[in-house]
Amino acid sequence: MENKVILITGSTDGIGKQAALEFARKGATVLIHGRNPSLGKTVLSEIRKASQNDNVLLYIADFTSLKQVRQLADDILGKNAKLDILVNNAGVYMPRRQLTEDGFEVTFAVNHLAPFLLTNLLLDLLRKSAPSRIINVSSMAHQGARIDLNDLNSTERFDAYDAYSKSKLANLLFTFALADRLNGSSVTVNALHPGVIATKMLRAGFGSMGGRPVEDGAARIAYLVNTTGTERVTGKYFVNDKEQASSSQSRDSKLQNQFWAISEKMVGLSA
């Protein structure tokens, strides 16, 4: 992993933090991201000390703000000559419907719109750094979800688990549509289910429900980051380090393209 530059969103806690630590220990330059400056500085110090690697850098952005997502992209582009790996890991589980400053339902905004915008803003750098990889952390929760293009903001009906599962389906629609758009390039994009991991988000959604250690979730990310044999794999969904068929709706190419166009408008990438 030496000479590799890796950005992991949502890496001041849980799976993202563990993955950042492990990549730092392997000698990578790791760009960690969080929304809380105080916590971010604490985690930055912890990872640098535990890994004996000073090439760990902190970026702050609240994913409920598209303005801050754009600023994050600008900061990364301004300070890094290359980006080998982007791990879209940041996510939330919201028990009640809330809106962002941009007027979007928070679960949908943080789990889909923010990584959609960030990835598109960093694509030129990823292409310049090719061969490079994009890894989207989805979830098996997508299997029971259905996307209603007329109610992406959950205005008609809001259920916490339904909103979360739809956002994870959104991750897959984005993954597959992006893989098609990157076809023929040396930038790959894949999605994964990290497992049911004992994180703050799991506790927020399911209380005292148990989960596997964060090391297990980080290992699923590591598999797609640096395992020999995955270099040219793209447009796939992984569970336990194996390709698995995702839901039929996630593989609907017409829906993928419709959803992409709507997402572009929502984040201001198209008129």
SS (H, E, C) 157-199: CCCHHHHHHHHHHHHHHHHHHHHHHCCCCCEEEEEEECCCECC
Q: Is 231 left (phi over 0), alpha (psi -120 to 50) or beta?
A: alpha
Do the Cβ atoms of 30 and 217 come closer than 8 Å? no
What pLDDT shows up at residue 207?
Answer: 52
What pLDDT shows up at residue 217?
Answer: 83
| Catalytic choice (59, 93, 164, 237) | 164
Active site residue 164: yes
Q: Which residue has the tokens 């990290």?
A: 194
Do the Cβ atoms of 234 and 185 come closer than 8 Å? no
Which DSSP state fits 99?
B
Contacts 24+ apart (CB under 8 A), 185-188: 185/127, 185/130, 186/130, 186/131, 186/132, 187/123, 187/126, 187/127, 187/130, 187/131, 187/132, 187/133, 187/134, 188/131, 188/132, 188/133, 188/134, 188/230, 188/231, 188/232, 188/233, 188/234
Taking the C-alpha atoms of residue 174 and residue 116, their distance in angstroms, rounded to an integer, is 7
Segments of the chain with pLDDT less than 70: 195-211, 213, 271
**Backbone torsions φ then ψ of 93, nearest 5 degrees:** -130, 110
**Backbone torsions φ then ψ of 220, nearest 5 degrees:** -65, -40
Could you report the per-residue pLDDT of 229-238, keeping only the tens digit for each?
A: 888 999 999 9
pTM (predicted TM-score)? 0.94
What pLDDT shows up at residue 228?
Answer: 81
